[in-house]
């Protein structure tokens, strides 16, 4: 997983990240009037009609979910990626089983066929995979598995991003598969001075090596980004409360081979 540098100061709080690489008082009379009015409306407005049905308790697609509900919904879409000695995460992004991940997780295997890339699906199915497309400038890549599980569960992509909004990250940090962490969006449009990565989502949900390529999710369980890096001011490959993700729109809209980025890796 790549590291991005620590932010330099307030003057660049909205821009580049610098440093070492690696979220009534109501009168009594009014209350009586409100109570009488509510009773009158609830009884059909005094005209003999029944009260209107209340809103359904079933969550709509726009309703916020609990963290447990987000994991239950998206967990089946998350995969473990082993690419040579590199461990990472991916998310199923289409009905045909296409997997979206971080480019640096698989960059050394693109020209080696399927021999060095193995994906493990949530149901335990293992399959070889090839890198079908990549964009080093965005640090994103897609994989095509040679085999698919009996049931393919693609994640739902897209969603607005706002500073302060809650987020959930699912990944395999330090080999601890299907780990979940939570936080908030800490900033937008971040970039690394010593690399080509820019326009990143900054968030504070805990991620570590092995989390790269995993989905960053909003409160509705929509994939809003792909985790790619952390800030590591101490150079000890430890999470310092600052992580970064490529926005899903950029990850989907900028695919195509290009020169490798110079961002730091972990």
C-alpha 102: how far from its chain's center? 12
Catalytic residue among 77, 104, 191, 229: 104
CA distance 161 to 247: 9
Contact 8, 231 (CB under 8 A): no
Catalytic residue among 77, 134, 139, 191: 139
Tell which residue, 142, 143, 140, 137, has the closest CA to residue 258: 137
Dmax over CA atoms of the chain, in Å, equals: 79
Known active-site residue 179: no
Neighbours of 29 (CB within 10 A): 8
Token look-up 């991620």 returns: 207
Catalytic residue among 212, 218, 229, 232: 212
Known active-site residue 206: no
CA distance 159 to 61: 12
Token look-up 């730091």 returns: 264
Known active-site residue 86: no
Catalytic residues: 104, 139, 212
């Amino acid at each position: 997983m790549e590291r991005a540098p620590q932010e330099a100061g307030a003057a660049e709080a909205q821009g580049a990240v610098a440093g070492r690489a690696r979220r009534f008082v109501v009168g009594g009379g009014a209350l009586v009037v409100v109570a009488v009015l509510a009773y009158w409306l609830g009884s059909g407005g005094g005209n003999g009609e029944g009260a209107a049905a209340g809103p359904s308790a079933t969550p709509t697609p726009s309703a916020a979910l609990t963290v447990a509900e987000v994991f239950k919904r998206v967990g089946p879409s998350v995969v473990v990626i082993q690419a040579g000695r590199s461990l990472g995460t991916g998310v199923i992004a289409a009905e045909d089983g296409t997997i979206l991940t971080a480019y640096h997780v698989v960059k050394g295997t693109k020209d080696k066929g399927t021999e060095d890339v193995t994906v493990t699906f949530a149901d335990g199915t293992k399959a070889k995979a090839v890198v079908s497309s990549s964009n080093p400038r965005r640090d994103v890549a897609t994989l095509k598995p040679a085999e698919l599980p009996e049931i393919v569960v693609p994640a739902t992509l897209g969603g607005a991003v706002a500073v302060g909004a809650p987020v959930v990250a699912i990944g395999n940090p330090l080999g601890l598969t299907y780990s979940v962490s939570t936080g908030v969006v800490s900033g937008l449009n971040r970039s690394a001075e010593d690399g080509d990565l820019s326009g990143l989502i900054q968030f504070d949900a805990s991620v570590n090596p092995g989390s790269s390529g995993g989905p960053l999710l909003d409160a509705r369980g929509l994939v809003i980004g792909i985790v790619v890096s952390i800030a590591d001011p101490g150079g000890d490959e430890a999470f310092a409360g600052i992580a970064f993700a490529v926005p899903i729109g950029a990850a989907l809209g900028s695919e195509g081979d290009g020169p490798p980025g110079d961002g730091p890796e972990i």
